């Protein structure tokens, strides 16, 4: 791992987003909570939070970070049809928080996929990216 011992401790925040395309019927079933596996959005939200907390165990050489915030927004959309995913992660530390936000978005999308796959064989996960990072040596804004 990279030595971060000499880096300043700062408040750091990252926002990552992604999208999962669904068929209109799948979105309707999801919104009616009528899918076989249960409450899809609640499950995906919990999965995203768990993923953020486990990032250092999933990504080799990633530093474990004490998270101070993980906010997950899952927004159903009709155009394009699917779920927009946004995760905001915060920490106060010596290294960035972007991997936690990106991992959380990815796992939320995979959870949505898993919970909808029985009724939708055409789902596509895409657009996973870092939208914003603040608090370190380099800020990112997309």
Supply the DSSP string of 32-82, one letter for each residue. TT-STT--HHHHHHHHHHHHHHTHHHHSTTPPP--EEEEEEEEEEEETTEE
Select which of 6, 32, 114, 139 is catalytic: 114
For residue range 62-78, list pLDDT tens digits in order.
Answer: 999 999 999 999 999 99
For the chain, percent of residues with pLDDT exceeding 70: 100
For residue range 92-131, list pLDDT tens digits in order.
Answer: 988 889 999 999 999 999 999 999 999 999 999 999 999 9
pTM of the model: 0.95
Q: Is position 120 annotated as part of the catalytic site?
A: no
């Amino acid at each position: 791992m990279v030595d971060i011992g000499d880096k300043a401790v700062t408040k750091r925040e990252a926002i990552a987003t992604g999208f999962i395309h669904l068929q209109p019927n799948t979105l309707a079933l999801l919104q009616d909570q009528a899918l076989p596996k249960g409450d899809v959005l609640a499950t995906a939200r919990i999965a995203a939070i768990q993923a953020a907390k486990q990032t250092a165990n999933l990504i080799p050489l990633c530093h474990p970070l004490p998270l101070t915030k993980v906010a997950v927004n899952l927004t159903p959309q009709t155009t394009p049809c699917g779920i927009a995913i946004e995760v905001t992660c915060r920490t106060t530390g010596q290294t960035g928080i972007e991997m936690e936000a990106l991992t959380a978005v990815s796992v939320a999308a995979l959870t949505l996929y898993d919970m909808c796959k029985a009724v939708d064989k055409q789902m596509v996960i895409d657009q996973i990216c870092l939208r914003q990072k603040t608090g370190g040596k380099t800020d990112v804004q997309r």
